[in-house]
Amino acid sequence: MFAGPIQELVDELGRLPGVGPKSAQRIAFHLLEVSKEEALRLAASIAEVKDRIRLCERCFNVAESELCAVCSDTRRDLSIVCVVEDPRDVVAVERTREFHGLYHVLGGALNPIDGIGPEQLRVRDLLVRLSDDGIVEVILCTNPNLEGEATAMYLARLLSPLGIRVTRIASGLPVGGDLEYADELTLGRALVGRREMSG
Amino acid sequence: MATFRDEGVVLRTMKLGEADRIVTFVTPDHGKVRAVAKGIRKPKSKLAGQLEPITHVTMMCWKGRELDVVQQVQVIDHFKAIREDLDRMPAAFTMLEAVDLVAVERQPMPGLFKTLTGALRTLAEGTGPVLLGAFLFRLLDLEGVGPIVDSCASCSEDAPLVAFDEHAGGFLCRSCRSGQPVAPETVELVRQIVGGQLRQALAAPPSRATAEVERIATLTMEYHLDRQLRSAHLAPGPQ
């Protein structure tokens, strides 16, 4: 146990994801050692994030105003929506520079064992969006794991009758990967989702 | 570091740190095993596709104090038919959740393991309406709390059984009845399930009785676990 404020800081840091008691101590003592300005800069940016960041009213991505940077960008293609699990997935897709449409952040994936069903996700909001806007294609961009696939299958079944084109991101081998080490499921999918090449 | 080999079915996974996951298996010789799969969340991880829930594997792990570490994995069955069918998935998840709650760490559970792999194989082959109920009753039976089906659970009279009460531990006659009223076909189905005529019970077409079997099996399981099976109560998918 340390003196009051240090222990409080260690306890607070220890609540962060992936930070155990030892790491919390290390960070706390690092903060103690750095200059006051540097420590207060961290405190200020935490306060600022909590004050200024909220969820976009349209797509539920993180935003500084009513709409996020993507939704308020007039150059985006309004007819395609990419459905992702998490705001961090928006950043991942944006990094590809291959997608120019809008997003919809579900806030997770179906996970029956953890009690996460469609009601706990922003599925209803997606349906409302699809009925209002002139959206012609929905790309299901959930993680290629069991929960993400289940979510994609659920949404595909829900959205197909609406007459909207529903697509799923491809899955297969990573660039630079080695066939020999690929697992059967991934390699199998890569084969099923093969595309034609012309010379 | 000591290693061990065993078969296992992946029950659930949970994120750990930057790129790892804690994978929970049920195994025949080591009971429930919780092991760290290092780097599994990285796209190039060769473990990633092999340690998804509902996968039957053989594995080699390093034995740790609290958590083991997955070293090698080979898939025996992905149960592809289940994971690609939204209608079969809820039953599979309920099975995994029940096993996760029942299984004890590092205690051999060959019966439980065999029941689970058998049920998953059956589910992958088709959707018997009574399968989930039968699985839960078999699980209860393995735990020594199977339902009383031959006579009234309260007065032991050999009278026609008309109700099911999980608190009483089985079916009840007309004079003792409490809990859920049930059809005679339901009693017969549960008798077949716990009496070794599983194949016959699984062949039953969907009916009020098959729905009742699933309902009372879920109720009984939840009563003995003293908690809800989350997977069994989620809103059903769009039809």
C-alpha angle B23/B26/B27, rounded to 5°?
Answer: 120
* Residues in chain B, total: 239
Rounded to a whole number of angstroms, the distance from the CA of A164 to the nearest CA of chain B is: 16
Overall size of chain A counted in residues: 199
Q: Are residues A134 and A81 in the same domain?
A: yes
Annotated domain spans of chain B = 3-80, 128-234
Among 2.40.50.140, 2.20.140.10, 3.40.50.2300, 4.10.490.10, name the CATH number for the domain at B3-80: 2.40.50.140
| Phi, psi dihedrals of residue B219, rounded to the nearest 5° | -60, -45
Of the candidates A90, A123, A95, A129, which has an alpha carbon nearest to the alpha carbon of residue A109? A123
CA–CA min distance B203, chain A (Å): 27
| Contact indicator for A103, A81 with CB cutoff of 8 Å | yes
The predicted-structure confidence for B182-214, as pLDDT tens digits, reads as follows 888 998 899 888 888 888 888 888 888 888 999
Task: For residue range B1-35, list pLDDT tens digits in order.
Answer: 689 999 999 999 998 888 899 999 999 999 999 99
Say whether pLDDT at B235 is over 70: no
Closest CA to A80 of A167, A12, A22: A167
Q: pTM of the predicted model, to two decimals?
A: 0.84
Contact A115 B237 (CB under 8 A): no
The residue among A127, A146, A166 with the most chain B CBs within 10 A of its CB, best to mutate, is A146
For residues A112 and A92, what is the distance between their CA atoms, to the nearest angstrom?
A: 26
Is the same domain home to A128 and A84? yes
From first to last of its 199 residues, what are the pLDDT tens digits of chain A?
A: 777 888 999 999 999 987 888 999 999 999 999 999 999 999 999 999 999 999 999 999 999 999 999 999 999 999 999 999 999 999 999 999 999 999 999 999 998 888 888 889 999 999 998 887 688 999 999 998 889 999 999 999 999 888 899 999 988 887 777 788 777 778 888 898 888 887 7
Alpha-carbon gap, residue B43 to A178, rounded angstroms: 12
Instruction: Answer yes or no: do A113 and A20 share one domain.
Output: no
Q: Are residues A182 and A120 in the same domain?
A: yes
> Which residues constitute the domain of residue A30?
4-52
Residue A92 sits in the same domain as residue A178:
yes
Pairwise CB contact (< 8 Å): B84 & A182: no
DSSP state of B186: H
* Overall number of domains in chain A: 2
Name beta bridge partners: A168: A140
Domain assignment of residue A57, yes or no: no
